[in-house]
């Protein structure tokens, strides 16, 4: 039976909500700031609900490939996607955007499901450790967005 571990991260970016939303909601940009993400390619859709992306991502034991589907899209407010099982992990990500002091408050909620060998405590700890590095890629996102005009 799958186990769920939820991670939540917040960051403020000194750019307007529409600019930050457009960048984050285009998953093909994620390898530019999310260091474990090696490659993302849109397979179908217009970026909104139902859009499918293929990805290749580093994991503690090498790399894994999979697909995700956009499950929620509210322009400039909320973006979410979910994938199938890849390497014992089911990717789920919910991103909320709100205006804050002329910039954007962004909240990433990651209710990650793990099963099989990935659910065993030592392996599960590696995934948790990997997810806790998210602060680094959020800082990359902030730097990336704030350095653009």
pLDDT in tens, 19-50: 999 999 999 999 998 877 899 999 999 999 99
Q: Within its chain, how far is the Cα of 113 from the centroid?
A: 14
Total Cβ atoms within 10 A of residue 109: 15
Please report which helix (H) or strand (E) contains residue 63, including its range.
Answer: strand 62-74
Q: What is the pLDDT of residue 71?
A: 97
Select the more confidently predicted residue: 148 or 101: 101
CA–CA gap between residue 149 and residue 145 (Å, rounded): 8
Identify the residue with better confidence: 141 or 73. Answer: 73
Residue-level pLDDT at 28: 96
Alpha carbon distance 21, 13 (integer Å): 11
Q: Quick count: other Cβ atoms within 10 Å of Cβ 127?
A: 21
Q: What is the pLDDT of residue 131?
A: 53
Q: Domain residue spans in the chain?
A: 3-144
For domain 3-144, the CATH superfamily is START domain (3.30.530.20)
SS3 75: coil
Stronger pLDDT, 67 or 70, i.e. the higher one? 70
Question: How far is the C-alpha of 113 from the C-alpha of 103, rounded, in Å?
Answer: 32
| Percent of the chain clearing pLDDT 70 (strictly above) | 81
For residues 72 and 146, the model is more confident at: 72
What is the structure's pLDDT at 136?
76
The pLDDT assigned to 86 comes to 62
């Amino acid at each position: 039976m799958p186990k769920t571990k939820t991670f939540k991260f917040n960051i403020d970016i000194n750019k307007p909500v529409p600019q930050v939303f457009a960048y984050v909601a285009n998953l093909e940009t994620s390898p530019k700031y999310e260091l474990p993400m090696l490659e993302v390619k849109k397979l179908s859709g217009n970026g909104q609900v139902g859009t499918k992306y293929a990805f290749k991502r580093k994991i503690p034991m090498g790399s894994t490939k999979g697909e995700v589907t956009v499950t929620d899209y509210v322009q400039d407010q909320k973006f979410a996607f979910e994938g199938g099982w890849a390497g014992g992990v089911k990717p789920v990500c919910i991103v909320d955007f709100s205006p804050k002091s002329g910039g954007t408050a962004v909240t990433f909620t990651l209710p990650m499901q793990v099963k099989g060998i990935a659910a065993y405590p030592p392996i599960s700890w590696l995934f948790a450790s990997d997810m806790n590095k998210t602060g680094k890629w959020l800082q990359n996102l902030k730097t990336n967005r704030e350095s653009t005009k």
